[in-house]
């Protein structure tokens, strides 16, 4: 009887672990240090470290951040987008780009949010282009740091 109970517990534990793996969060997390100055002439105004990217200038500057798409055939957009910043007044826009990525018409949809410090929610993208990509442009106030970006796509 004791052996049967132990075997049952092991089976339940295995099934529970399998169920957890199936329901895993499909969120991608990016350190702000992946971002770069929007203008090459402003690269020297930023520092990067394991906490993100920091604007060392006396004014607000824009950065661009690569955001990887891992659901390439997704046309249903996102179901969770956030950025984390050290300072109030940080703003970010997430762009859903067409597959060719060229020109004004390449933007399928964009969403904007501002706030901070801490986590700021960006409204979800609800339409994507097959094989398209995402891009994020943020404005960091003087002394501000973009710590991280989190995005979860619809499957």
Q: pLDDT tens, 47-105?
A: 999 999 999 999 999 999 988 777 767 778 888 899 999 999 999 998 888 777 654 44
Tell me, yes or no, whether 15 lies in a domain: no
| CA-wise closest residue to 68 among 132, 154, 4, 128 | 132
Tell me, yes or no, whether 58 lies in a domain: yes
Tokens of 39: 């203008």
Tell me, yes or no, whether 13 lies in a domain: no
Tell me, yes or no, whether 7 lies in a domain: no
Q: pLDDT tens, 132-147?
A: 778 899 999 999 999 9
Range of 62's domain?
Answer: 26-153
Number of domains in the chain: 1
Largest CA-CA distance found in the chain, in angstroms, rounded: 75
Q: pLDDT tens, 64-79?
A: 998 877 776 777 888 8
Tell me, yes or no, whether 11 lies in a domain: no
| CA-wise closest residue to 81 among 118, 108, 121, 139 | 121
| CA-wise closest residue to 71 among 16, 19, 41, 28 | 28
Cβ count within 10 A of residue 130: 10
CB distance 98 to 105 below 8 Å: yes
Q: Is the dihedral of CA 136, 64, 28, 132 positive or negative?
A: positive
Q: Hunting for tokens 């597959």 — which residue is that?
A: 99
- CATH number, residue 61: 2.60.120
């Amino acid at each position: 009887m004791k052996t049967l109970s132990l075997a049952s517990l092991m089976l339940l534990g295995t099934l529970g672990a399998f169920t957890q793996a199936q329901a895993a969060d499909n969120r991608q997390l990016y350190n702000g240090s992946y971002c770069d100055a929007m203008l090459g002439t402003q690269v020297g105004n930023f520092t990067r470290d394991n906490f993100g990217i920091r604007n060392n200038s006396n004014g607000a500057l824009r950065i661009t951040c690569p955001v990887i798409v891992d659901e390439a055939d997704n046309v249903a957009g996102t179901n969770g987008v956030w950025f984390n910043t050290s300072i109030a007044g940080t703003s970010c826009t997430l762009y859903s780009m067409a597959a060719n990525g060229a020109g004004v018409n390449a933007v399928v949809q964009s969403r904007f949010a501002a706030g901070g410090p801490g986590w700021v929610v960006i409204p979800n993208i609800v339409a994507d282009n097959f094989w398209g990509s995402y891009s994020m442009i943020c404005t960091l106030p003087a002394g501000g740091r973009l710590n991280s970006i989190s995005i979860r796509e619809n499957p």
